[in-house]
Amino acid sequence: MRDYTPPPEVVDDLKPPLPYTSGTVLQIQQHIPPPPFGPGYETPFRRSRVPDFRKRYSTPSRLCLANPPPKTPPHPNQKIYSLKIVDQIACSDSRGAQVVTCYIVGRQAGLLVAKIFDPLYYDWWDYEPTFLADCHYSREAAAFLRLLHVKDADKMGYPGVTEALEGSIPDFRGCWTWETALLDNQRRDVRMVLMNHFPFPSIQSIADRGEATKIALELRMQLFAKAMELHCWLMYFGVDQRDFWPRNILVSLEQRQVVLLDFSHAAVRDLPNSRWVSRDEDPPSRPKSPIEVFRASFGQNMGDWIPDDLQNRKAQKAWFKKMWGGSEVFAPVCNAIVKQFGIDDSD
């Protein structure tokens, strides 16, 4: 086994310490996001990565100055608001998007969550930071803009979506931008999205604390099944979250509530540059079954949330069939899944 060698330290003389801390106040304006780009979208709106960025730019600050976020038309509302950070949810240098609780000073909007796409605090040694931050922002914004129409889903030909997703996805509170400064006072723009706050832990955090097995197995699996169903309802409405991991699934044990988060990798169907397009003029009357969407497999590592006796494929197939076999809510499983995985949803 090879010894891990940490990447060399980059001395950035212009980079401030991570500013997204309790008490920080940002002067923000509403923003029109660029069209989404990256995997699943066609090239006309795709922003290119900076080639050999670590060779061309000696520090993250210089990369960010030379490669600002894409310009878009100004938002009709040019008013400046003060946003005050209350606490950190997921913040650290080199982690990617920074997530904080916050509120807009003087507005009765309650506690909000800001997801901040600041490439200066993305991982310098991973993917090109300015491309990744812009990509994440554009995709998150596109998904939320589609989800603004959930309340009209029935009129749009997607029965059941409004009820299924009620209280299970964040309420979008807009795209925003502000100007910040480096240590030499050079200015740069940063983008973010705002949403309402859910005071629930994630499946990941519960498992990391060693508390998953303290929860009744039946309740754990009910909540997990609910998360899978929500994912299928989202896809039915045209939003593929593409990041179904335990860190993105919030659960309330008391309220039996599940919330799906994080759309920075999402793809949206039928946008002008989407590769994911509807094949039929009329939408299907029901969403695809979790059996089909998840291929009768839990896929990602859910840790102790899933008991040992459900960790093998045979047991998982049986569980999926028990949960959704013969479902009247979800569409019948297609023949390809029956042949490939040897499972159908018939009784």
The neighbour count for residue 81, using CB atoms within 10 Å, is 16
In this predicted model, which residue has the larger pLDDT, 298 or 181?
A: 181
> By C-alpha distance, which of 302, 300, 294 is closest to 204?
302
Q: Which of 74-83, 281-290, 331-340 has the lowest mean pLDDT?
A: 331-340
Q: Which of 25-34, 104-113, 254-263 has the lowest mean pLDDT?
A: 104-113
Rounded average pLDDT over 133-152? 97
Provide the pLDDT for residue 220.
96
* Percent composition of the chain: helix, strand, coil (DSSP 3-state, to 5): 30, 20, 50
Residue 131 has pLDDT above 80, yes or no: yes
Parse the chain into domains and list their residue ranges: 25-196, 203-341
- Grouping H, G, I as helix, E, B as strand and the rest as coil, residue 344 is coil
Q: Which two tokens stand for residue 314?
A: 């045979």
Rounded CA separation 173/264 (Å): 16
CA dist list (Å): 262 to 124, 246, 253: 22, 11, 21
Cβ partners under 8 Å of residue 78, min gap 6: 29
Residue pLDDT, tens place only, 200-251: 999 999 999 999 999 999 999 999 999 999 999 999 999 999 999 999 999 9
